[in-house]
Amino acid sequence: MLHVLRRLLCLLAITALALAAPAVAAAPLSLRLTHALAVAHVDQREMGAIAIDLASGKVVFARNADLALAPASNEKLPLTYAALVRLGPSFRFRTEVLGEGTRVGHVWNGDIVLRGYGDPTLKTRGLIRLVAQLRAAGIRRVAGGVLGDESYFDARRGVDGWKRSFYGDECPALSALSINRGVVKGIRIADPALATAQRFRELLVNRGVSVAGAARVRPAADGAVPLAAITSAPLGEIVRFMDHDSDNYTAEMLLKELGASAHGLGTSRGGALVVRETLAEAGVPLAGVRIVDGSGLSRSDRLTVRALASILRLTWTTPTVRAQLVRALPIAGESGTLERRLRRGPARGLVRAKTGTTDLSSSLSGYVGERYAFAVIHNGHPVWAWYARIAQDNFVQALAAAARS
């Protein structure tokens, strides 16, 4: 019944737009955008919208552009920009095996350490590659045990401002050492480092490397020597997945990596500091902006549409960032989180944008071809996401029609 009602409301909205189309089409763009946002059950006092000309940077429309709003997953846009600027598109996460002790023949006399550096894409096959490297080096027995070292990040599994239900449901437990996005043998794990060390020990034994001791968790000792290492895909590919599918786990791991690599603080707060520093250095207006996590799940996050538009324009004028971020955004009516949105009208195939939805926020920000950048955020308690999306889609369709004319 609810599905039928939603379809009816959508058809009524489309019909109303169609009836008004001749008069609206002849109006100035700013008036057309104002009309697009006028949707029932959408509080105009709790929303912000902006559109800018990409070539000149001129603002062609703005409403509540400096209002601090909960951004939902549009939070991933400043994170992506900062990561591509600070780390670079070719950056790769590393996972390594260290040895504590000495080697005698085929025996490692001591413990071996599986040290993680926050790779959100680490899977069982990565551990198998590490085992293969140890075997290729001639190691057939470990006299000690297997240690899991997650000390590159802090031990917090979530972030300030998250609802309890977000832990596990929206994002697996965070750790610098975790495989399969926190799932081992079909079970979601609460202690990722220990579970990963246990799985690594099991793989060693199954592939002919006996291990005398158990799996435990602690940092590697000073002087531990490198025995094997693997790296992830390049960051450009990782952010493409993160933004295309709006993946919260990747965003939070990447945020901690920013803090660890820039300041030696593998924490969400440390990463948020780096994002803010990067935006400030680029001249993004930060009044009203509060970065707490990378995913936008925190109820403490705040962005303005002016800040988002500034980030999008900076991206557009920075070739190395533009090549990665624009490609990472879903295409209207065709891919990612926009596959089932904007499937008709001038926006289809022309708009690339990042969506965002929580119970407090609905957002959409991105590009209309090579003509405009835009950002729209609606808030509420809760937000009426269905109606907010109608307003956002109307706004984008009006910009797309102008871009195609």
- pLDDT tier at 4, thresholds 50, 70, 90: very low
Fill in the DSSP letter of residue 285.
-
Please tell me the distance from the alpha carbon of residue 1 to that of residue 7, in angstroms, as a whole number.
10
Instruction: Note the pLDDT tens digit of each residue in 303-326.
Output: 999 999 999 999 999 999 999 999
Q: Is the peptide bond before 219 cis (omega within 30 degrees of 0)?
A: no
Instruction: Give the model confidence (pLDDT) of 124-146 as tens digits.
Output: 999 999 999 999 999 999 999 99
Amino acid 25: pLDDT? 57
Question: Do the Cβ atoms of 243 and 354 come closer than 8 Å?
Answer: yes
Q: Please give the helix or strand (H or E) that residue 102 lies within, else none.
A: strand 94-104
pLDDT digits (tens, 9 = 90+) for 34-80: 999 999 999 999 999 999 999 999 999 999 999 999 999 999 999 99
Give the C-alpha separation, 163 to 156, whole Å.
Answer: 15
Q: Which pLDDT belongs to residue 15?
A: 45
The residue type of 241 is F
pLDDT reading at 245 higher than 90: yes
Contact in structure between 302 and 70 (CB atoms under 8 Å): yes
Distance CA 199, CA 181 (A): 14
pLDDT of residue 21: 45
Say which CATH superfamily domain 20-89+237-404 falls into.
DD-peptidase/beta-lactamase superfamily (3.40.710.10)
217 pairs with which residues across the strands? 148
Decide: 249 and 172 in contact? Cβ < 8 Å. Answer: yes
Region 94-232: CATH code? 3.50.80.20
Q: State mean pLDDT over 149-176.
A: 93
Shared fold status for 20-89+237-404 and 94-232: no
Domain assignments of the chain as residue spans, ordered by start: 20-89+237-404, 94-232
Which residues make Cβ contacts (< 8 Å) with residue 327, sequence separation at least 6? Answer: 240
Q: What b/e readout covers 113-130, taking b as 16+ CB neighbours within 10 angstroms?
A: bbbbbbbbbbeeebbeeb
Record the tokens describing residue 279, joined without a space: 């935006």
Query: Which CA distances in Å does 298 have to 2, 107, 255, 280, 285?
Result: 29, 48, 13, 21, 21
For 197, the token pair is 């060390």
pTM value is 0.92
Res. 372: pLDDT tops 70:
yes
Amino acid code (one letter) for 231:
T
Query: How far is residue 114's CA from residue 100's CA, in Å, rounded to a whole number?
Result: 11
